[in-house]
Amino acid sequence: MDARLNVFGSAVAGKIVGLLARTGPVIDSSGLPPATGELVKIRASQINGCGFCTDMHTKDALAAGETQLRLNLVAVWREATVFTEAERAALALAEEGTRIADGAGGVPDEVWAEAAKHYDEEQISGLVALIAIINAYNRVNVITRQPAGDYQPGQFG
């Protein structure tokens, strides 16, 4: 499959992706555990059908020491025993935040409350931002049909 748009070859698209990328250090400063962030990015990318981001974040997670078993089970995290309660709360918030149009009233209070039990205000701020940003990346990549499979860990530095 060929991409519809060379995101890095377009001045406008490149600037927009660059702005999204600059949120990374701010999110990192929230104290959200990096492994949790990767799980959230993978799950949102799976839901959105973003092969490019699923490829990227599973490879980055493996390179950072995540296990293949946990990566294999992200899509079925509710049935898996390999995730902590905090990770499960983050994955639930990621799913609800990604599927926001599917539910009347947005993210349910009980999902928010469970996440708030495990993450302080700075961490949950980072989590909310991360969910929003990965959904933006997913949409750019799905709309422009960015191909998956060739990503190398750390490729975007």
In this prediction the pTM is: 0.95
* 70 — pLDDT class (breaks 50, 70, 90): very high
Give the gyration radius of the chain's Cα atoms.
15
Query: Which DSSP symbol is given to 87?
Result: H
Q: Which residues contact 67 (CB under 8 A, 6 or more apart)?
A: 82
Return phi, psi of residue 84, to 5°.
Answer: -75, 165
Q: Which CATH superfamily is domain 11-143 in?
A: AhpD-like (1.20.1290.10)
Query: Which DSSP symbol is given to 102?
Result: G
- For residues 131-149, one letter each, b for 16 or more C-beta atoms within 10 angstroms of the residue's C-beta and e for the rest, the string is bebbbebbebbbeeebeee
* 7 — pLDDT class (breaks 50, 70, 90): confident
